[in-house]
Amino acid sequence: MTTTRQKQAKWLRIFRKIHRVTGAFLFAFFFVVAITGLLLGWKKHSGGMILAKTHQGTTTELKDWLSVDSLHTLACQYLHDSVAADLPLDLDRIDIRKDKGTVKFVFSEHFWGLQLDGATGKLLHIEQRRADFIEKIHDGSVLDHYLGTSDGQIKLFYSSVMGLALLVFTITGFWLWYGPKRMRKAAG
């Protein structure tokens, strides 16, 4: 019986060391993931600080809307007139909100976004896309963005390390909780 208890105690020490070393090594990363995850969870309830509300256009009838090309041209003009004339115009995405009568243009290089009325092309809102920036920090792709890596290699590595670390924490944490209970039960 003593050898079984000694083996269990040995495994507990191993798991405790793995848990402690992994936690110490990845503390800053877990802190960043936790903070950015909280911010992303609250983005729609931040009063526009993290993510702006979607503004209402004049009509939800697509037949009455301007072409996407015309809206894109207007969005680029509004960006240069309202923010800075030298900003790149590369798009990350165009988000069509038919139910709101709105088209969102999100630019890829500088985290600016514009909301236009789909029918009139009128500028409804211009925003700094903080949620997009926070998301890139959260998933590690901010380094791909600023270092210009081609295929998201840093995001893939970061996500893999963080996912595996979370799995290791879950397994070792469970064992650190369950192991002593099992040892007491076996001794009792």
User: What pLDDT does 67 receive?
Assistant: 97
Cα 68 from Cα 58, distance rounded (Å): 16
Answer for the pair 136, 130: CB distance below 8 angstroms, yes or no.
no
Q: Which parts of the chain are beta strand (E)? A: 91-97, 102-107, 112-117, 123-128
Answer whether residue 100 shows pLDDT above 90: yes
Domain segments of the chain: what residues? 2-43+148-187, 52-128
Q: Which two tokens stand for residue 31?
A: 């802190």
* pTM given for the model: 0.79
Mean pLDDT of the chain: 91
Residue 92 clears pLDDT 80, i.e. is over it:
yes
Model pLDDT for residues 41-63, shown as the tens digit of each residue: 999 999 999 999 999 999 999 99
| pLDDT for res 42 | 96
What's the pLDDT band for 74 if we cut at 50, 70, 90?
very high
Per residue, the 3-state secondary structure of 71-83, as one string, reads HHHHHHHHHHHHC
Q: How crowded is residue 125: how many other Cβ atoms within 10 Å of its Cβ?
A: 15
CA–chain centroid gap for 113, Å, is 17
129 vs 114: CA distance, rounded Å:
9
